[in-house]
A = this chain, B = another copy of it.
Amino acid sequence: MVAADRGSFLDRLQDGVVRTGGALCVGLDPVLDALPSSLTRDEQGVRSYCLQLIEATAPYAVAFKPNAAFFEVLGGHGWPLLAEVVGEASRHALVIVDAKRGDIGPTAAAYVSAMFDFLGADACTVNGYLGGDAVAPFLVRPDRMAFVLCRTSNPGARDLQDLRLTETGEPLYLHLARMARVWNDSPPTGTVGLVVGATWPRELAAVRQQAPGLPFLIPGVGAQGGDLEAAVAAAGGAHGPYLINVSRGIGQASLGPDFVGAAAAAAAGYLTRLQLARSTGQDGVGGGAES
């Protein structure tokens, strides 16, 4: 069953940027061992944590990004709870389920239905190692988006993604960025985004140059050490389009009883920095949706 058309992801992202003045994505990573001390370390604690975090940070967020791993690890209760969290977050903002799925065509179609029909996500993350025919099933819904892993935020990103190709002399991740642009131009257009880590601003700028109009999902700011201002500049400044994701920097701003207030304050702080960076930052390499 395909849900009613929601309007394009990109249009809704731009509405969110107008509403908040920034492009903050709040990551929902309910790690059991890092739940606030006032909550029980079980699925009831996870539910309470996620719902309170959503409520507290919604005024500052254009999107929420729950990571499927922290729900799957809860066992049989995890998936229904993830669906509940996606539903609640959807009342306030876009929802990107971070699941990094990827499989051959017929199997990918089942993941697509799990993400977009059962969970009801607006977007999900996808691993493109299997190639275009494995990504294609994620791209057929005009009102949803697939963010394909391009240059990730972890140190191991170097192992495969940075390897240079004989054909062009370029690293693999730039080749993938160009392929993603081609995928994005096939109807329905505008259903492809890229995941590019904030921890590598130079690589981020290079990806922006290859894929001017594609929305970026940018993790790695905060706990992973990525610099917000450098990432905004590299991703296109005021033009973008992009979402800056912060997970631990907001959700674990405090592990004490006032984690909710601390998360709201942290989200407000990140949004202010984002607004400032957008208004004063350079346009990176000059590649933005409108440039």
**Which positions 103-138 of chain A face chain B at CB distance < 8 Å?**
103-108, 110-111, 113-114, 118, 127-135
What distance in Å separates the Cβ of A111 from its nearest Cβ neighbour in chain B? 5
- In this assembly, does A47 line the interface, its C-beta being within 8 Å of a C-beta of chain B? no
Using C-beta atoms within 8 Å of the partner chain, give the interface range for chain A: 35 or more
Chain B contacts of A7 at CB under 8 A? none
On whether the beta carbons of B160 and A104 are closer than 8 Å, the reply is: no
Residues 20-63 of chain A: 1 if any B CB is under 8 Å from the residue's CB, otherwise 0? 00000000010100000000000000000000000000000000
What distance in Å separates the Cβ of A203 from its nearest Cβ neighbour in chain B? 14
Copies of this chain assembled into the complex: 2
CA of A161 to CA of B131 in the docked complex: distance in angstroms?
8
On whether the beta carbons of A104 and B152 are closer than 8 Å, the reply is: yes
What distance in Å separates the Cβ of A248 from its nearest Cβ neighbour in chain B? 9
What is the chain B residue whose CB lies nearest that of A129?
A: B129
CB within 8 A of A72: which of B102, B110, B160, B166?
Answer: B110
What is the chain B residue whose CB lies nearest that of A128?
A: B160
Most buried by B among A72, A102, A164, A172: A72
CA of A101 to CA of B169 in the docked complex: distance in angstroms?
29
- In this assembly, does A78 line the interface, its C-beta being within 8 Å of a C-beta of chain B? yes
On whether the beta carbons of B133 and A155 are closer than 8 Å, the reply is: yes
Chain B contacts of A74 at CB under 8 A? 118
CB within 8 A of A127: which of B29, B80, B102, B179?
Answer: B102
